């Protein structure tokens, strides 16, 4: 490969993040070369991507039927793991949704590939395992806008952190009366005010489950204790997160909401790309940035998820798996919006974690929770 050109593998290339990662690559052909692509569905788009970017390896798996029964996080392991291991793949963009990301993330980290992580679920359910690899020298670069903001603010001074402050838009239901939440339709829950994202993460933004996942991601990626990570509601999604240092100084990262910016940052790291995807931030046009407390009555999933996170072990794996099933059922109009929390809570309450945390235990808890959630629904 030509000097100065970074070889990139993108896992989950047909999803929202995967497509935007390819937009960054398309814009800087002299800097990046696509070595591998993988997708679980939308094979028509995948073949167009293959035609355009000519990767050396492709891993594809069409889902049978609606996917609800057939989805198995390990199903495509062989080819996805081969893709990750390709010698020209210096950077692996992990954009596989859900728990399925954990195995390839760990594999890539063990091979000491640099990983740009959009699939925060891998860290949510396997945080301790991922952190172990990072402590041993693996490089994990966040792609989530909040985690990227923190990472950017920590640049040049990773020590002396007093507090991380994650911002949350509040999602599409921020102004909806709490007593009406049980009547929210999938269409309403998918109408995000500031971000265009995949369906699962958009529903998780409506329940704020997603924000709890980001707290977990920040905890494991930056090694900050739970009690020093806070969330503030910031409806404009301009301030993507903040870091408070020991001396009281706070740094923030700002931009109009666009996932291509944190993707570009991770792809170019440790440099910065020389072109902008979004307009330049115009503070006068923005006029005001507002901040509100997080209302626990509106977002009970947030507290539940953080309870599971603090409990540790396989609780987050059970929580995440139950949430994946519950959101899918909600999107299929099989359960109501507030049933998501009910279902997830019951699964977490019933969960009995094993005695030690291993990949096998996590995958077993994941499988158990998926099945239990379906039974309970």
Query: Given the rule CB under 8 A, which residues bind a second copy?
Result: 152-153, 155-157, 159-160, 162-163, 165, 232, 234, 239, 242, 244-255, 261, 264-265, 268, 271-281, 283-284, 286-293
Q: How far is the CB of 236 from a second copy (least distance, A)?
A: 10
**Closest CB 164 distance from a second copy, rounded Å:** 13
Shortest Å distance, C-beta 124 to a second copy: 25
CA distance linking residue 7 with residue 4, whole number of Å: 10
Choice between 110 and 249, CB closer to a second copy: 249
Q: Distance between CA 371 and CA 71 in Å, rounded?
A: 12
Distance between CA atoms of residues 143 and 119, nearest Å: 9
Given a contact cutoff of 8 angstroms between Cβ atoms, the answer to whether 324 and 99 are in contact is: yes
* Least gap, CB of 251 to a second copy (angstroms): 6
Question: Cβ of residue 142: shortest distance to a second copy, in angstroms?
Answer: 14
CB nearer to a second copy: pick between 65 and 270: 270
CA triple 219-222-224, angle to 5 deg: 50
Residues 133 and 115: their CA atoms lie apart, in Å, by 12
Query: Two tokens at 314?
Result: 């396989």
CA dist 373 and 377 (Å) reads 6
Shortest Å, Cβ 256 to a second copy:
8
**Smallest distance from the beta carbon of 257 to a second copy, in angstroms?**
12
Other CB atoms within 10 Å distance of the CB of residue 178: 13
Closest CB to a second copy among residues 187, 290: 290
Class of residue 174 by CB neighbours under 10 A (exposed 0-12, middle 13-18, buried 19+): middle
Nearer to a second copy, 136 or 250 (CB): 250
* Residue nearer to a second copy on the CB measure, 93 or 252: 252
Q: Which is nearer to a second copy, 288 or 352 (CB)?
A: 288
Of residues 152 and 210, the one with the C-beta less far from a second copy: 152
């Amino acid at each position: 490969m030509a000097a100065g050109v970074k070889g990139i593998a993108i896992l989950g290339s047909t999803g929202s993040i995967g497509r935007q990662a390819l937009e960054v690559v398309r814009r800087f052909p002299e800097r990046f070369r696509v070595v591998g692509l993988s997708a679980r569905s939308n094979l028509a788009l995948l073949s167009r991507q293959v035609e355009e970017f000519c990767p050396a390896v492709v891993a594809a798996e069409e889902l049978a039927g609606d996917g609800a029964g057939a989805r198995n996080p390990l199903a495509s392991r062989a080819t996805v793991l081969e893709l990750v291991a390709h010698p020209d793949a210096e950077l692996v963009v992990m954009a596989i949704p859900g728990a399925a990301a954990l195995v390839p993330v760990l594999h890539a980290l063990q091979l000491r590939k640099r990983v740009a992580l959009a699939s925060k679920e891998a860290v949510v359910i396997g945080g301790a395992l991922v952190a172990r690899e990072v402590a041993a020298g693996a490089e994990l670069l966040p792609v989530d806008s909040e985690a990227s903001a923190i990472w950017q603010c920590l640049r040049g001074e990773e020590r002396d952190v007093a507090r991380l402050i994650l911002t949350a838009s509040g999602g599409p239901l921020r102004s909806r009366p709490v007593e009406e939440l049980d009547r929210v339709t999938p269409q309403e829950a998918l109408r995000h005010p500031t971000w265009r994202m995949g369906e699962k993460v958009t529903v998780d933004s409506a329940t704020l489950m997603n924000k709890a996942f980001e707290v977990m991601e920040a905890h494991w990626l930056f090694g900050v204790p739970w009690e020093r990570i806070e969330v503030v509601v910031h409806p404009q999604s301009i301030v993507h997160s903040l870091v408070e240092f020991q001396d009281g100084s706070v740094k923030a990262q700002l931009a109009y909401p666009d996932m291509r910016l944190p993707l570009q940052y991770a792809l170019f790291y440790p440099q910065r790309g020389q072109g902008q995807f979004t307009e330049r931030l115009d503070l006068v046009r923005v006029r005001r940035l507002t901040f509100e407390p997080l209302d626990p009555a509106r977002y009970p999933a947030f507290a539940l998820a953080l309870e599971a996170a603090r409990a540790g072990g396989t609780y987050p794996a059970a929580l995440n798996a139950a949430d994946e099933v519950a959101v899918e059922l909600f999107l299929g109009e099989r359960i109501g919006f507030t049933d998501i929390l009910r279902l997830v809570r019951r699964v977490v309450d019933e969960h009995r974690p094993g005695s030690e945390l291993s990949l096998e235990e996590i995958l077993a808890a994941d499988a158990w929770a998926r099945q239990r959630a379906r039974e309970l629904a």
